[in-house]
Amino acid sequence: MKKILLVGGGTLGPVTPLLALAEAMRQRQDFTVLGLAGGRRGPERIMAEGAGLSFFSITVGKWRRPFDLRNFFTPFLVLMGVLESVGLLWRLKPSVIVSGGSFVGLPVLYAAWLLGIPSLTLQQDLVPSLANRCAAKFVSKIAVVFPEVARFFPAAKTVVTGNPIRQSLFEGSAERGRQFFQLEPSLPTVFIFGGGTGAASLNEIVIAALPELTQFCQIIHLAGKGKLSTANRQPQTAHRYHPYEFLTDQMADAYAAADLVVGRAGIGTITELAALGKPAILIPIPDSHQEANARYLEERGAAVVISQKQRQPEDLIKKILMLLKNPERQMKLCQAIGQLIPADAAEQMIKVIEELTK
The pLDDT, as a whole number, for residue 100 is 96
pLDDT, tens digit, 9 for 90 and up, residues 102-146 = 999 999 999 999 999 999 999 999 999 999 999 999 999 999 999
In this model, does residue 230 exceed pLDDT 70?
Answer: no
Least confident window among 17-31, 63-77, 180-194: 63-77
Greater confidence (159 vs 201) lies with 159
At the second CATH level, the architecture of 2-163+342-356 is 3-Layer(aba) Sandwich (3.40)
In this model, does residue 248 exceed pLDDT 80?
Answer: no
Least confident window among 45-49, 118-122, 135-139, 215-219: 45-49
The pLDDT, as a whole number, for residue 72 is 63
The pLDDT, as a whole number, for residue 311 is 65
The pLDDT, as a whole number, for residue 66 is 66
pLDDT, tens digit, 9 for 90 and up, residues 168-203 = 899 999 999 999 999 999 999 999 998 655 578 888
Average pLDDT over residues 89-107: 96
Cα 306 from Cα 101, distance rounded (Å): 27
Q: Is the dihedral of CA 18, 28, 142, 271 positive or negative?
A: negative
Percent of the chain scoring above 90 in pLDDT: 72
Identify which of 101, 124, 63, 127 has the alpha carbon closest to the alpha carbon of residue 291.
Answer: 127
The pLDDT, as a whole number, for residue 224 is 79
Work out the pLDDT band at 234, boundaries 50, 70, 90: low
Least confident window among 166-175, 235-244, 258-267, 299-308: 235-244
Cα 255 from Cα 188, distance rounded (Å): 13
Q: Is the dihedral of CA 253, 259, 265, 267 positive or negative?
A: positive
The pLDDT, as a whole number, for residue 215 is 94
Preceding peptide of 313 cis, ω within 30°: no
In this model, does residue 232 exceed pLDDT 90?
Answer: no
pTM score: 0.87
Buried-state track 256-272, b at ≥16 Cβ within 10 A, e below 16: bbbbbbbbbbbbbbbbb
Average pLDDT over residues 74-90: 89
The pLDDT, as a whole number, for residue 79 is 87
Greater confidence (345 vs 63) lies with 345
Average pLDDT for the chain: 91
The pLDDT, as a whole number, for residue 231 is 46
CATH 3.40.50.2000 positions along the chain are 2-163+342-356, 168-338
| The CATH number, out of the four listed (3.40.50.800, 1.10.600.10, 3.20.20.80, 3.40.50.2000), of the domain defined by the range 168-338 | 3.40.50.2000
In this model, does residue 254 exceed pLDDT 70?
Answer: yes
Greater confidence (200 vs 313) lies with 313
Burial-class residue 294 by CB neighbours within 10 Å (0-12, 13-18, 19+).
buried
Average pLDDT over residues 320-342: 95
Average pLDDT over residues 229-241: 65
